[in-house]
Structure 1
Amino acid sequence: MRRHPTDGTLRRLLDEPAGVADADREHVAGCPVCLSGLAAARADAAVAADALSTEVTADVDAAWQRLTAGAAAVPPAVQVAPPRRARWRAALRSPVIAAAGVVALLAGAGAAAAADWLPIFRTERIAPVTLTQADLVALPDLSAYGDLRVSSEPNVRPVAGASTAAQLTGLAVPRVGELPRGVTGEPTYQVGDRVTAVYTFSAAKAAQTATAAGETLPTPPPGLDGSQFRLTAGPGMAAVWTEARGVPALVVARAVAPAAYSSGVPFATARDYLLKLPGLPADVAAQLRAFSGDGTTLPLPVNSRYLTSSAAKVGGKPATVLTSRDGALAGVVWADAGVINAVAGSLSADEVLSVARELR
């Protein structure tokens, strides 16, 4: 029977993960005893860092309010967006963002060692998760179960043309074969940067949330408290054809597919626990269970009040077709070789599928 790695090895997983043997790393990832020891080592490291830190804390939100009190005197061209923390805090309160976040954290698979992060998810296909309006209202707010730290944001912006979009994103520009009826002219281009965020699960925060809702929080498995999930997506680009009144008639977009990583907790451990959290609607949890184990299917939240979804094929790849219930809008999204592709507009489902299948 193999012995557990020493306390020194567990600490090295935090400080110098590349120096830990693959056999020890794999043992820790699947051993509850070692995961508990790893969590304790992480807590000790945090205490030491706090004791040695000379950083001065401040209320960033209050400071921003004071700074922007005189924003009317600043020319619009030089006004600055609110701090990232404030914007992402507001986003976490959105049920749509909460849905995307929850399914992203649940959509993973068995880990393979890679430096200090264990890959748990890569996008190979997309599948819809149907959400009712009641589901969207009931979905848990991720900020109530932990903390999100965003290190890079999309920064979506217009660019001069296709060559610039390709240069900034490293992606091949999608070329439309034949424009649908009613869509004319040349497109404008937009790009977005890579998004990177780290979500840290907090058992204490989750317990407070459950208590406030009159629920009982299931006991977290060893190592989950304080564990981190790193989420990445992008960069991406979009070609946009606009109607005379300024409304997009056709959008063809492409982006590096989302991926997720864990600080050491195996996917199955996190998945089984997160699916039991209070507030996650039973029907949503059931849909996630149906395909969340393969680690390659990206759940796509679909609000059934406004949209219907159906399956199709684009270039031999599974695709999801979305159509507004009034028939005014349609879109199709699919994954291919690590890239998410989408075509949407004021068109029919047949029209967006025709554009998608003829892309070069």
Structure 2
Amino acid sequence: MRHPSDGTLRRLLDEPAGIADADREHVAGCPVCRAGLAAAGEDAGLIETLLRQEPEVDVDAGWRRLSVNLDTPEGRSATVARPGRWRTGWRSPVIAAAAAVALLTGATAAAATDWLPIFRTERVAPVTVSPADLVKLPDLSAYGDVAFTERADVREVPDADAARAASGLGVPRLAGPPRGVSGAPTYHVGNRASAVFTFSAAKAARTAQALGRPLPPPPPGLDGSHFRFTAGPGVAVVWPSASGAPALTAGRVHAPTVDSSGIAFATARDYMLSLPGLPESVAAQLRTFTADGTTLPLIVKSGQETNATADVNGAPAIVLSLRDGTMSAVFWVSDGVVTAVAGTMSADEVLAVARGLRWNP
């Protein structure tokens, strides 16, 4: 039997009752389609990820955001289509990128008692990952410990004024209703969120052993070093379709930053790229990133998504789209703020929306 289309997988998230039994059964038994369903779930959560780092998330799961090993259609629907849930995780396009940058970009040495700013987001760039490599990406917790120090507390607020007051950001509003959007928007805000990752040579050694590969000797000072990730506050506006399902989301968040304590980051970058578990295709792309600590990677799933560069009112942007054209998103950075617009529309349409956004000051 042929694989269901990307559009069918996307519909399985939003309207599972509308999917034919044959397609359900195929997805349940097909690893390729389960990976595709996971990818569709990631696309549906692009903007939510900008805001959400839920305190109840098991940090030992690390970059996990969506398992591709669910065994039943019912289980998958319960996980990826729960109304009102803002999906999250360290494998999400934005949060995983911030974590990768923290470990892979360059900086000078920091005094052990001080936090040294080593990463400030000024631009975004794509990192292409195959579905097979995506599910192989290692948990951050495989190499150390993660502890949340500030919680996002994502919540709905009554209107744009309340969203602006809670986030400190201008709130996106549409110049005019695009195709597929119908009805009044809802407003969501999140506080600043931060977490500290502590590298552990012992954990890294156990991970390497489980993979059947030797652990390269850690450079002096890396064991026990801390890296602090911070993002937010943020705001998102969600416009519904005629059916009530989300049709368009525009989100803004104070851009991710990373601070370091205890080691020169050029050393950490080279070492982390050599660790077992990181697919070489991903490591090779990260090696091409400049070491100035300003470029935030965005994960692009090869064979399922396309990406292109664009301009949004003078700011360089990255446009991601599902290959069947059913969903697109555009990301850009300006004045220390990451903005993303995503919707069930073509790349040209979502880019036109992004360029036409207005802001409640």
Q: Same fold (TM over 0.5)?
A: yes
**Match of residue 266, structure 1, among 264, 267, 285:** 264
Within the alignment, does 1:110 sit opposite 2:107 as a pair? yes
Aligned residue pair count:
278
Following the alignment from structure 1 to structure 2, what is the Cα–Cα distance between the partners of residues 113 and 263?
5
Structure 2 counterpart of 1:22: none
SS at match of 1:148: strand
Structure 2 vs 1, CA of residues 244 and 182 (structure 1 numbering), >3 Å: closer, same or farther? closer
**Match of residue 206, structure 1, among 204, 207, 214:** 204
Aligned AA (1:110): A
Structure 2 counterpart of 1:228: 226
Structure 1 or 2, whichever has the larger Rg, is 1
Aligned AA (2:215): L
SS at match of 2:284: helix
Structure 2 vs 1, CA of residues 102 and 169 (structure 1 numbering), >3 Å: closer, same or farther? closer
Structure 2 vs 1, CA of residues 94 and 343 (structure 1 numbering), >3 Å: closer, same or farther? closer
String of CA shifts for 1:149-192, please: whole Å, max 9, x gaps.
01122222110000100101111112322221232333110111
Following the alignment from structure 2 to structure 1, what is the Cα–Cα distance between the partners of residues 56 and 204?
20
Deviation at 1:314, TM superposition (A): 0.8
Structure 2 counterpart of 1:46: none
Structure 2 counterpart of 1:28: none
**Match of residue 148, structure 1, among 146, 149, 172:** 146
String of CA shifts for 1:75-98, please: whole Å, max 9, x gaps.
xxxxxxxx9465333354458734
Following the alignment from structure 1 to structure 2, what is the Cα–Cα distance between the partners of residues 186 and 94?
29
Structure 2 vs 1, CA of residues 131 and 84 (structure 1 numbering), >3 Å: closer, same or farther? same
Structure 1 counterpart of 2:186: 188
SS at match of 1:231: strand
Q: Is the contact between residue 148 and residue 200 of structure 1 (CA under 8 Å) also seen in structure 2?
A: yes
Within the alignment, does 1:90 sit opposite 2:76 as a pair? no
Following the alignment from structure 1 to structure 2, what is the Cα–Cα distance between the partners of residues 315 and 185?
27
Structure 2 vs 1, CA of residues 237 and 93 (structure 1 numbering), >3 Å: closer, same or farther? closer
Following the alignment from structure 2 to structure 1, what is the Cα–Cα distance between the partners of residues 238 and 167?
16
Following the alignment from structure 1 to structure 2, what is the Cα–Cα distance between the partners of residues 290 and 265?
22
Structural mapping, 1:1-360, within 5 Å: 84=55, 87-94=58-65, 97-98=90-91, 99-100=96-97, 102-111=99-108, 116-360=114-358
Following the alignment from structure 2 to structure 1, what is the Cα–Cα distance between the partners of residues 351 and 153?
29
Q: Is the contact between residue 104 and residue 268 of structure 2 (CA under 8 Å) also seen in structure 1?
A: no
Structure 2 vs 1, CA of residues 102 and 233 (structure 1 numbering), >3 Å: closer, same or farther? closer
Following the alignment from structure 1 to structure 2, what is the Cα–Cα distance between the partners of residues 212 and 242?
46
Deviation at 1:216, TM superposition (A): 0.8
Deviation at 1:222, TM superposition (A): 0.8
SS at match of 2:268: helix
SS at match of 1:293: coil
Deviation at 1:217, TM superposition (A): 0.7
List structure 1 runs of 4+ shifted beyond 3 angstroms. Answer: 83-86, 90-96, 98-102, 106-109, 111-115
SS at match of 1:205: helix
Q: Is the contact between residue 107 and residue 292 of structure 1 (CA under 8 Å) also seen in structure 2?
A: no
Q: Percent identity?
A: 58
Following the alignment from structure 2 to structure 1, what is the Cα–Cα distance between the partners of residues 273 and 185?
43
String of CA shifts for 1:121-155, please: whole Å, max 9, x gaps.
00000001111011112222221110000112222
Structure 2 vs 1, CA of residues 119 and 101 (structure 1 numbering), >3 Å: closer, same or farther? closer
Deviation at 1:250, TM superposition (A): 1.2
Deviation at 1:246, TM superposition (A): 2.2
Aligned AA (1:167): A
TM-score by length of 1: 0.72
Structure 2 vs 1, CA of residues 232 and 326 (structure 1 numbering), >3 Å: closer, same or farther? same
CA RMSD of aligned residues (A): 2.1
Following the alignment from structure 1 to structure 2, what is the Cα–Cα distance between the partners of residues 152 and 305?
37
Q: Is the contact between residue 111 and residue 119 of structure 1 (CA under 8 Å) also seen in structure 2?
A: no
Following the alignment from structure 1 to structure 2, what is the Cα–Cα distance between the partners of residues 112 and 168?
36
Structure 2 vs 1, CA of residues 102 and 278 (structure 1 numbering), >3 Å: closer, same or farther? farther
Structure 2 vs 1, CA of residues 330 and 292 (structure 1 numbering), >3 Å: closer, same or farther? same
